[in-house]
Structure 1
Amino acid sequence: MIVGYSYAAENLCPSCTIKVMRASGITVQRGKPHEEAIRKAAEKLGIDVDDEHSYDSGDFPQPVTDQQCETELTELPDAEPGVCHAISDERCSGTNCNKWLKLGEKSPTEAGLTRWVRDDYELPQALAREIAKKLREWGLSHPEFITEDNVRRAAATFPHDYTAVHAEGNPQRIVLMPTPQHDNDPCFYCGQSWEKHTFICTTCGTHVSADAPHGHEVQVKGQIKFREAKPPCPQSPSRTTPTDRTAF
């Protein structure tokens, strides 16, 4: 299937190909499917579009099929040495176009990708926004090329709500625990152990490492000042968590 054309040292979608042809002085019939219109234009110029070796793409567009689209190998950060993630990276070079030739559409905006991450993986809006930014930074801008592993790895690069999943008895009953239940308890979002996460203090609003001591002096009406107890040792996560330390 023809998804675009190689013309004047650029790979273009059908619409942009016709625009460039007209700008170059080639007459292309209007109101016809792109393939038929371009073939008719070739016939008038004595060009056999079925024999790509008989003419140069600098003179007339040569068809690009979905099987001919090139692939760019992208190695994501922290990937195992030599392991690359392949994504189709053949896009239209037309002005303000940038459509994926195979998909025939543009990548969603950052807001659109955020919504997709949020809805498809059931993540909080704030975390989904950060993940979408990181994915685009890695060159992964379209859901067609994004895997669950990509999303989890992106999530692991940001402080986020710690949520472990535990099924109690009935496999269909999933209980979300906002705090870790035992050492190495994995995070539902990124799969890393809770010790690698941060928590946000509701008193000062700062991020605190999971295993870092943190406390505040608080004034209770009618009582003298006292120093609030420090959080429990990370090796004993089953102990009660201080009330001013909310999971994050």
Structure 2
Amino acid sequence: MMSGVIGYTYQAEKLCPSCTLKTMRANGIKVQKGKPHEDAIRRAAQNLGIDFDDEHSYDSDNFPKPVTEQQCETELTEVPGDKTGTRHAISDERCTGDKCGKWLVLGEKSPSEAALTRYVRDSYELPHALAKRVAGELRRWGLSHPEFIKEKTARQAATMFPHDFATVEFRGNPQQVVMFPTPQADGDVCFYCEMPWEEHMFTCDTCGIDIPALTPHRHQVPVKGQRKLPLVLAP
């Protein structure tokens, strides 16, 4: 008995077990219901005189061939701005069945945009508005499932969007985590994106444009939860 089967190659597609059974039935192949997919497909092969254990004896255009996790091809995702030039590997494939999209190894779909936003917000303690933009960017990069997301990548995505600066220190006795809206010491970085204050972008509430922290601007820029930045007149 074969083990570790996560899907099947059938008629030039990689299909999850459910879509494989559905496609077989649509093609007129009788498949027993109520049985594990491997058992049902093996019985269907016997009925058709196919040696299911010898993949070279039949063509996947005519009958499904099993795919194990080890056979699952790796999807490479290139994250913009990664100075190392690393292409992030996702050792999984999606089912190409009609409107399915399950990851074969994970056996499930990626969460909805709203669910991924909640995951990013809660896992990395981001403000909801920033988490929504970060989640959208991660999905654009192909990192649409929490299983594929690393903290470093999420923080990297956060650097792409204007957001409040927050730095964290331990204060008091007993010590407690205290969050500050401005740097408290040289080298302080933002809790959300791990970048220094000087490299942040803020959004001007008056004109609505994004402004680098050190760029002269003709409006005061109130940042939510923070004191106003000093007024600097453009030359």
Match of 1:22 among 19, 22, 25: 25
SS, match of residue 67 in structure 1: helix
- CA-CA distance at 1:183 after TM superposition: 4.4
1:221 is matched with none
In the alignment, structure 2 segments of 5+ residues that lack a partner are 231-235
Whether 1:132 aligns to 2:135 is: yes
Contact 2:73 2:93 in 1 (8 A): yes
AA at the equivalent of 1:37: A
1:73 is matched with 76
Alpha-carbon distance in 1 for matches of 2:51, 2:125? 52
Moved more, 152-161 or 45-54: 45-54
- CA-CA distance at 1:205 after TM superposition: 5.6
Moved more, 174-183 or 113-122: 174-183
Moved more, 74-83 or 5-14: 74-83
Contact 2:10 2:65 in 1 (8 A): yes
2:233 is matched with none
What is the alpha-carbon root mean square deviation over aligned residues? 2.3
Change (3 A) 1:211 1:21: same
Match of 2:144 among 121, 141, 145: 141
Match of 1:180 among 157, 180, 183: 183
- CA-CA distance at 1:213 after TM superposition: 3.6
2:195 is matched with 192
1:168 is matched with 171
1:105 is matched with 108
SS, match of residue 158 in structure 1: coil
2:10 is matched with 7
Change (3 A) 1:170 1:215: farther
In the alignment, structure 1 segments of 5+ residues that lack a partner are 217-229, 232-241
- CA-CA distance at 1:245 after TM superposition: 3.7
Alignment length (residue pairs): 223
Structure 1, residues 25-78: CA drift from partner, whole Å, max 9, x if none?
Answer: 111112222111111000011111111111111111011112211101222112
Alpha-carbon distance in 2 for matches of 1:201, 1:3? 51
TM-score, scaled to structure 1: 0.82
Alpha-carbon distance in 1 for matches of 2:160, 2:176? 29
Contact 2:125 2:192 in 1 (8 A): no
Contact 2:7 2:15 in 1 (8 A): yes
Match of 1:92 among 90, 95, 100: 95
Alpha-carbon distance in 2 for matches of 1:69, 1:165? 42
Alpha-carbon distance in 2 for matches of 1:243, 1:41? 70
- CA-CA distance at 1:119 after TM superposition: 1.0
- CA-CA distance at 1:172 after TM superposition: 5.1
The structure with more radius of gyration:
1
Contact 1:75 1:83 in 2 (8 A): yes
Contact 1:201 1:244 in 2 (8 A): no
Alpha-carbon distance in 1 for matches of 2:210, 2:135? 22
- CA-CA distance at 1:14 after TM superposition: 0.6
